[in-house]
A and B are shown apart, each in its own frame.
Chain A
Amino acid sequence: MNRYLIDRVTRHLIQLLVGLVVALILIFLGYLIWQGRHQVTWTFLTTSSEVGLGIRDQLFNSLYLLVLTLLLSFPIALGSAVALTIYAKQNIFTRLAQMAIEVLSSLPSIIVGLFGFLFLVLKVGLGFSVLSGAIALTFFNLPILTQSMILALKNVPTSRLEAGISLGVSQWHVLLKVIIPEAIPGIISGIVLSAGRVFGEAAALIYTAGQSAPQLDYHNWNIFSANSFLNPLRPAETLAVHIWKVNTENIGIDADKISRGAIVILVVVVLLFNFLARRLSNYLQQKNGGR
């Protein structure tokens, strides 16, 4: 019974290997959080990197860029997802758009960054700024977000649209009042998932949002003032860019401490986003399964 032996042996080998890889992954993730646990203190989070060991401004820049990026990319992604799922008749335009989304989503993020540098920073003249960074991140984020919105909208049965049309209501109305509300868990889980990627992205930002974080004044609400935290035309180094920069430019004890602490924040936030997205899509599946 040779082949039964082979079957048993291979099965155990596979189990062993999978166990090993999963253990390694867990050790890796655990290590990332464990190694910097002493670094994450209140002073570390609230000190400007210009005056001491801290990441206050980088953390704020990351969040600010994330919000701006989502504000910019959400309407465009939702619009094109609607165009491609609800309105789409298979014609050359929709086929091209689908192809564009695929190509854009597999484009290296450094290319997006270089394009942003050439187009936004130099040609349009925005300079290294929050705005350049947010637009570059929007380029980076759009294909991913659109793909998940398309999935979310496809999960809504087409009978909704047909019922609406038979009642003489416009497609637009059905869309706003029925289809999009029903797709909301899927849409939100797509947003949260892409938020995780945007939060940790660095290659698209080093030449758009810049590599410096001037000390910010969080009481200055005048968005045109150079040190106001809301000013969209100031350079804005993010957490991920900061980690890259301190490690490539001035390797030392401080660089090591800063990166270890910053990595804890980055990894925890990203894992949190992923966890939320997973919960949402599970909720969605259960809801659909119960129907």
Chain B
Amino acid sequence: MNLVELKSPSKEIRQDHWGKILCYAATGVLLLLLLTMMYFVFSKGIRTFTVDGVKVWKFLTTSQWEPTSTTPKVGALALISTSFLTTILAAVIAAPIAIIIAIYVVVIDTKIGTKLIQPIVELLLGIPSVVYGFVGLTMLVPLIRRSFGGTGFGILAGMLILALMILPTITSLAIESLRGVDRSYWNFAYTLGGTTWQVITHVILKIAAPNLIIAVIYGIARAFGEALAVQMVIGNTIQMPINLLTPTATLTSKLTTDIGNTVAGTLANDALWSLALILLLMSLAFNLIAKRFAKRRVKS
């Protein structure tokens, strides 16, 4: 072996070198993707305010949406509040049920729970959102129309469909967070003479609380961004959400129905991109809030 051969990197080192470059390049693609996506949505979304001269405050606090009339008005308040209301109501329905299922699976009957209940609930995770939308449209909306009158389209239908959609998400995460509670805490409580219910309410739920909140936040985030299922049952008329039974529209449903019908560069199009920007920012905000709770858990 001559000196040159010893001094130059071996085949192994070169292999490693290239392998590393390949893998880091793949990770770079992921980062680049997020950055371009944010850049494009941001630059499009702020045009309403920078190019078309709409005031941010006005956009967020008025609810008239007539971007093509002679005196164009774009106010997203109705859309934003409908999105929030529908999402929160869906979580209010789904979260308690999900947590009770999680209690059953983790504490009450682990065997049936993990073998039967959890897999069945998680089957719902895979069902595509158009399927939920179709069921909402053909079953729920007529049912609401028959029982409460009106058209049947509206927040009630939207929130029920969303509740069903986020139930498996919250349940899976809640099960994980209850399982994360250290067994020794349960045992302490049992030795002190606590009943199962007392152990659940005083020990398990209290310790798991931050993680349960994270689970619910992820459910809310999913519901907030869901587009097609909501769009199919909400009615798509821009209106303040004053009644659960009147047709209205959410951020996502407005985007879904209108983005293909507007011309790029017009106010109508720019305003829609501003809605997309709000959606993106909310998604980031949900992530941040969840992170905050995760940090608090580590500290305590």
Contact = CB atoms under 8 A, between A and B. Distances in A.
A106 interface: yes
B289 to A, nearest CB: 11
Contact of B12 (A11, A31, A97, A169): A169
B33 interface: yes
A243 B132 CA distance: 11
A110 B195 contact: no
Which residue, B25, B37, B128, B259, has most C-beta atoms of chain A within 10 A?
A: B128
Interface string A198-212: 011111001100000
A82 interface: yes
Interface stretch (A39-47, A220-228, A269-277): A269-277
A117 interface: yes
A79 B280 contact: no
A100 B31 contact: yes
A111 B26 contact: no
**Secondary structure type dominating chain A contacts:** helix
B40 interface: yes
Given A7-B195, A170-B15, A83 B117 contact: no
Interface residues of B, number: 82
B142 interface: no
A28 to B, nearest CB: 7
A115 B225 contact: no
A266 B127 CA distance: 8
B196 A107 contact: no
Contact of B29 (A76, A112, A206): A76
Given A80-B30, A107-B225, A118 B44 contact: yes
Given A87-B23, A118-B40, A139-B33, A103 B283 contact: yes
B24 interface: yes
A173 B259 contact: no
- Size band of the A side of the interface? 35 or more
Contacts of B69: none
Contacts of A103: 34, 283-284, 287
B157 to A, nearest CB: 14
Nearest to A138: B33
Contacts of A247: 130, 133-134, 137, 232
A270 B37 CA distance: 28
B256 A203 contact: yes
B290 to A, nearest CB: 9
A37 to B, nearest CB: 15
B256 A80 contact: no
B41 interface: yes
Contact of A3 (B34, B198, B279): B198
Interface string A147-182: 000000000000000000000111111010000000
Contact of A202 (B27, B130, B135, B222): B130
Given A100-B30, A202-B129, A244-B232, A110 B101 contact: no
Interface string B191-210: 00001111000000000000
14 contacts: A22-B116, A25-B120, A26-B120, A75-B26, A80-B30, A82-B23, A84-B27, A103-B283, A107-B283, A114-B259, A119-B36, A171-B16, A207-B260, A244-B130
Interface of B: 11-13, 15-16, 18-20, 22-27, 29-31, 33-34, 36-37, 40-41, 44, 97, 100-101, 103-104, 108-109, 116-117, 119-131, 133-135, 137-138, 164, 167, 195-198, 218, 221-222, 224-228, 231-232, 252, 255-257, 259-260, 264, 273, 276, 279-280, 283-284, 286-287
Given A106-B221, A107-B283, 18 more contacts: A7-B197, A17-B97, A18-B104, A18-B117, A21-B97, A22-B116, A22-B120, A28-B135, A75-B26, A76-B29, A79-B25, A83-B26, A100-B30, A111-B279, A200-B131, A244-B130, A247-B130, A271-B123
Interface of A: 3-4, 6-7, 10-11, 14-15, 17-18, 21-22, 25-26, 28-29, 31-32, 75-80, 82-84, 86-87, 93-94, 96-97, 100-104, 106-112, 114-115, 117-119, 122, 139, 142-143, 146, 168-173, 175, 196-197, 199-203, 206-207, 240-241, 243-244, 247-248, 256, 259, 263, 266-267, 270-271, 273-274, 278
